[in-house]
Amino acid sequence: MSLQNELKIIKNLPEFKDLREEMTLADEKKLRKIYVQKNDYIAIVGYKILKDFARFTSHEDLSNDKIDYAGKSRIYLTGLKRRGVYRRASEAILRQYNEQYNCATPDHQCMDCYNCFTYGGVIAVKNETQAIKSRLKAITAFSIQSDEEALIDEEEFHNIVHNDFRMEQAEQGQQKKASIYNLLLIKPGVVFPFIDIIFNPTKFDLSMYLEMLRRADAMGFGSRSSLLGTMETKIIAITDNMKVSHKDLLTKITINETGDVICEELTKQLSKDEIVDDNQLEKVRSLLPELIKKYSNKIYGSAISENSTAKS
Ligand SMILES: [Zn+2]
């Protein structure tokens, strides 16, 4: 086992950037840096393994999302859904380090804290409309296994009664909708290769991202209140020059008979300076408490009351 040094891409990241800072435009107007999108990014390439049953759906009938892609019918986990879970996990981390933190999505976005600068925000009040684009782009992930392999086939699982599965009822005029129906869940062990991109990245972003993943994986990606869909994430590479396509991920990552994920074919396509090991990742993740303390004012912005300070 060779213990690699810090990845060059990680080493070259600035520790932190205050995106609240203003720059002066040609017409003398001021613009916060957060509104300027640069094509400066890191892409995180890896895969998620489902650890329990899940339902990834954007349909009213709660059927799992599936699509024909790269040669078979596959389950997919939308980038939007993934980013939604990421944002809530990130919010929970910021609150863990400062109980006064009061930015909350979707109803109380402050537009002035780290989470709003990372995951974006919208204020839709007349004459005060503001929108910040998300710097973190999660691309929709597709299952390695076909939907047939991915979905449960045991009869007893087909009917599950659960609060969360009740259909929303119209207040009047419509027939009541059924509240119990056949349900197909995705099996544990299904693998979803993913690409997450962070624009204008810093070491703090990466550290926060890695901590956030642990929390998000434990929260689950199934459905908000169902506690389904917990996952485990393995990161293969971090690159600032994306040459891997979704098709590469789905054809060059395979699963052998014993259920192990094999990604040698994929890593051949990446350079040594992009492939990352767990020790390198753990080193960045462990910087988090220190960096939150150091940049506390800039991270929390006006989303904390004035007198509070971050817990050490
Ligand atoms: Zn905020």
Q: Which two tokens stand for residue 13?
A: 């990241």
Per-residue pLDDT, 10: 95
Contact 186, 50 (CB under 8 A): yes
**What are the residue ranges in the chain where pLDDT is below 70?**
1-4, 61, 153-183, 223-227, 305-312
Give me the residue spans of the domains in the chain: 38-93+134-163+179-303
pTM for the predicted model, two decimal places: 0.86
Per-residue pLDDT, 255: 94
Per-residue pLDDT, 159: 45
**What distance in angstroms lies between residue 12's CA and the mean position of ligand 1's atoms?**
27
**What distance in angstroms lies between residue 271's CA and the mean position of ligand 1's atoms?**
37
**What distance in angstroms lies between residue 47's CA and the mean position of ligand 1's atoms?**
29
**What distance in angstroms lies between residue 26's CA and the mean position of ligand 1's atoms?**
29
**What distance in angstroms lies between residue 67's CA and the mean position of ligand 1's atoms?**
35
Neighbour count for residue 307 (Cβ, 10 Å) = 6
- Taken as a whole, the chain contains a residue count of 312
Distance CA 156, CA 152 (A): 10
**What distance in angstroms lies between residue 230's CA and the mean position of ligand 1's atoms?**
26
Per-residue pLDDT, 1: 42
**What distance in angstroms lies between residue 162's CA and the mean position of ligand 1's atoms?**
33
Cα dihedral 87→89→91→95 (10° resolution): 180
Contact 70, 251 (CB under 8 A): yes
Q: Give Cα separations from 154 to 83, 218, 275 (angstroms).
A: 31, 25, 39
